[in-house]
Amino acid sequence: MSERREAGSKRAFDDHEMSDDDDRPSKRSRGGLSIEMRLLLPSKVAGAIIGKGGENIKRLRTDYKASISVPDSRGPERILTIRADVDVVCDIMLDIIPIVSKQLNRSDEEDHEIRILIHQSHAGRVIGRGGTRIKELREETGSQIKIYVDCAPMSSERVVQITGGAQQITSCIAAMFETMDGVPKKGDNILYNPNNFDEYAVQNYGGYCDDRGGRYRGGGPRESRMSGGRDDRRGFGGNSGRRFSEMGPRDGGGMGRMGSGFGDELGGFMGGRGAMEKMTMSQVSIPKNLAGAILGRGGSRIKQVQHESGTKIKLDDGSPDSNVRIISITGTQEQIQFAQYLLQMAVKRHAD
């Protein structure tokens, strides 16, 4: 794999110090399709693209006469936005892709991989009726394409993962944006803000999470969470729905943020990665009128949550004089947190 010139990958220079809003792509005589592409990156990869003191990103702007920005964020993800003609964007990506692969510790034998954010209504266009268009894109470009079903947290954007050689990826980018050209966005247009990163949703929307082992891991390859065909889901993904802390008071105080302080926990979580995890029981109260959304027809939904999360979940009957019911979730800390997320999404999607 050829390597492009790059600077050190220390913490990135704040983008506000590197560019201003007037840094726009110049009009090009070729008359190509003008696009705005949003590339989702791990923070350390974004830092390498920016370079020490912003040296590398300044070079990219100068060489390609394009608008390129990478706003800072406090989480493990950042977004690189490129505004230019589609052929220029592809040229820039040929420059950037080797940097991404190097920072992700990919070997020369491994395919490159990038993740692009697109509006959820455009995802349907890229997939096509019965998955026909996404199949054509794979065949035409030789790349592998996966579109995650859930939107990124608090946004209307979905992640498109493209894997292959650098030329295959850029060919796919061009074909994908030509497919979306002229198609209006339907519904809310809420761009993903990496400051809303949610590690418990990352596997579902296709984001990045630092595993502290020198290599970033993205959303897992759970086929049930990716789409190559028909999309039956509605609404936003990630943590855009109401949190359990908004669903009802718990005796003696609130329940806190998802995944931290959910009710009374018995036992504990032992050590770091690779250490033995003790079983824990966590309880959360919900209004009675949300019980149906969590249970599903004949208890099917709560059974599915138990199966996917590996937990045991019990919903009490509640007392006649109380407007709340108690959910008890038993499992490891990580399993419980995932179950809480799935229950949150069930309420968001199915509550009246």
pLDDT for the residue 146: 95
Nearest residue to 339 via CA among 228, 258, 269:
258
Q: Which residues in the chain belong to E strands, given as ranges?
A: 34-42, 67-69, 77-85, 112-119, 144-148, 157-164, 208-210, 216-218, 226-227, 280-287, 312-315, 324-331
- Residue pair 164/156 in contact (Cβ under 8 Å)? The answer is no
pLDDT for the residue 106: 86
SS3 208: strand
pLDDT for the residue 277: 61
pLDDT for the residue 118: 97
Contacts of 216 (CB under 8 A, 6+ apart): 42, 44, 45, 76, 104, 208, 209, 210
Nearest residue to 191 via CA among 161, 158, 225:
158
Contacts of 129 (CB under 8 A, 6+ apart): none
Q: Which amino acid is at 253?
A: G
- Residue pair 243/201 in contact (Cβ under 8 Å)? The answer is no
- Cα-to-chain-centroid distance, residue 123: 14
pLDDT for the residue 283: 84
Alpha-carbon torsion angle 144, 75, 212, 152, nearest 10? -30
Q: Which amino acid is at 350?
A: H
Q: What DSSP state is assigned to residue 324?
A: E
Contacts of 255 (CB under 8 A, 6+ apart): 244, 245, 261, 262, 263, 284, 285
Q: What is the pLDDT along the chain (352 residues), one digit of tens a residue?
A: 433 333 333 333 344 333 333 333 333 333 479 999 999 999 999 999 999 999 999 999 999 999 999 999 888 999 999 999 999 999 999 999 999 999 988 888 899 999 999 999 999 999 998 899 999 999 999 999 999 989 999 899 999 999 999 999 999 999 999 999 999 999 889 999 999 898 888 888 999 986 543 445 565 433 333 334 333 333 333 333 333 433 333 333 333 333 333 333 333 333 333 334 678 888 888 888 888 888 988 888 899 888 888 899 998 887 777 788 889 999 888 888 888 888 888 888 887 6
